[in-house]
Amino acid sequence: MTPSALKGVKIVEFCTTVSGAYCGKLMADLGAEVIKIEPPATGDEARRKPPFLKDDPDPDKSGLFMYINTSKFGISLDPSNPRGKQIFERLVDHADILIEDHPPGEMEKMGLGYDALKQINPGLIMLAITPFGQTGPYKDYKAYQLNISHMSGQGYLLPLVSPHLERPPVQIGGNSGNFDAGLTASLAVMAALFWRGTSGKGQYIGMSKMEALIAMQRVESVTFPNSGVSMSRKGESLRMSGNGIFPCKDGYVSIVTPEEHQWQNFMKLIGDPPWSKAPWCQNRFERGNHADKINAYILEWMKDKPKEEIFRTGQALSVPVAQVNTAEDVVSSPHFNARGFFVEVEHPVMGKLDKFPSSPYRFSKTPWAISRPAPRLGEHNKQIFCETLGYTTDDLEALKDAGII
């Protein structure tokens, strides 16, 4: 059997929707045993989020749920009920890590706060992911991804470049904000796990999603206190010219030329036009002052060329240029496919997904792998409750009837 990096690490994930689940997935796909707890009957929120296979909103056909819950075991459990709480405590007793994302105070209210759980399992690492952290005036405020994206300053700078400031700032497409939070959280958990290996001790980690997103934009975030400048989505810095996203025949291309020789190569690509020899075109600052003129020339050159041709011929001349890929482009990209970025996954309800997105890291010794598809609701109840915790099948029936699992 191929070794996996996080073999033997036991994680209980008690989270809803995306951020916490993504954190759990990152570790599950590297070999950790992640038990995902979902509310009985309704299941996790993400099961009701698109995209759905053939647009059928079946809770077992959400592509989002499938994407962020691979390699996990799934159980249903309501720990707010005394019997459910007892089971939850036994799961935590067996675990190295608990990930939860409930509003501050809610775990304590159930008697499942860190201080209580530490008594059961002193080595426990507990991670709490909340919108604004465990302290501060907004700690109890509610926020979805949209709100976090805007509050963190990420939205304010998008889209780059915006036609004018009359139009609203926007969030990054898809679930990016939630993934930022989940990925950032995973770093602290992994570091705490490492420290436990040397010290034997567990600990509590609080993470604010907003702060995870601010850290991801740490350079743009400090321009005001350091220089009195608040950047906007007008893209002032991009006007260092020849940089940006430009429309072409069948889509868009992205160009950036941080080095002067790259700009020269770019000029070579477009045939060394006479205007490129003008004095105002000889350094980035001068070009910035003539950005509108330069951009108009570039647009004129590009308008009848396909994006892939610009991408390939540009790269052949060492110009940092790329086509702006759509989902279809990425899924059919020769490079992505040659690197094995897409893998085949078989799901009992969804069937075979032949191009499932995998991971960005290739480990020489401990490869990333999907050990099982995302669980159906309560799929591993019997395995976890009976085989791991030692409940009988009769107990299981009784718990089911009581709505606890």
Site for another protein in 317-376 (CB under 8 A): 318-331, 333-336, 338-339, 341, 350, 353-357, 359-366
Q: Sort strands 97-100 and 125-130 into parallel, antiparallel or unpaired.
A: parallel
Letter for the amino acid at 304?
Answer: D
C-alpha separations of 289 from 264, 272, 279, 392 in Å? 18, 20, 12, 76
- In the complex, least distance from residue 397 CB atom to another protein, rounded to whole angstroms: 32
User: Beta partners for 248?
Assistant: 251
- What are the start-end ranges of the E strands in 183-339? 203-208, 244-248, 251-255, 321-323
Nearest to 101 by CA among 58, 66, 148: 148
Helix (H, G, I), strand (E, B) or coil at 322: strand
Would you say 199 or 383 has its CB closer to another protein? 199
Stretch near another protein under the rule CB under 8 A, chosen from 77-85, 150-158, 381-389, 390-398:
150-158
Is 254 near another protein (CB under 8 A)?
Answer: yes
Give residue for tokens 């790269």: 315
| Interface of this chain with another protein, residues 224 to 243, rule: CB under 8 A | 224-227, 229-232, 235-240, 243
Is 298 near another protein (CB under 8 A)?
Answer: no
Give residue for tokens 């003008």: 278
Tokens of 149: 């994206």
| Interface of this chain with another protein, residues 42 to 81, rule: CB under 8 A | 49-55, 63-64, 66-68
Would you say 50 or 82 has its CB closer to another protein? 50
Binding residue for another protein (CB under 8 A) from 42, 58, 122, 215?
A: 215
Binding residue for another protein (CB under 8 A) from 69, 81, 121, 154?
A: 154
Would you say 216 or 405 has its CB closer to another protein? 216
- In the complex, least distance from residue 282 CB atom to another protein, rounded to whole angstroms: 15
C-alpha separations of 4 from 29, 102, 368 in Å? 9, 30, 7
Would you say 229 or 402 has its CB closer to another protein? 229
- In the complex, least distance from residue 352 CB atom to another protein, rounded to whole angstroms: 11
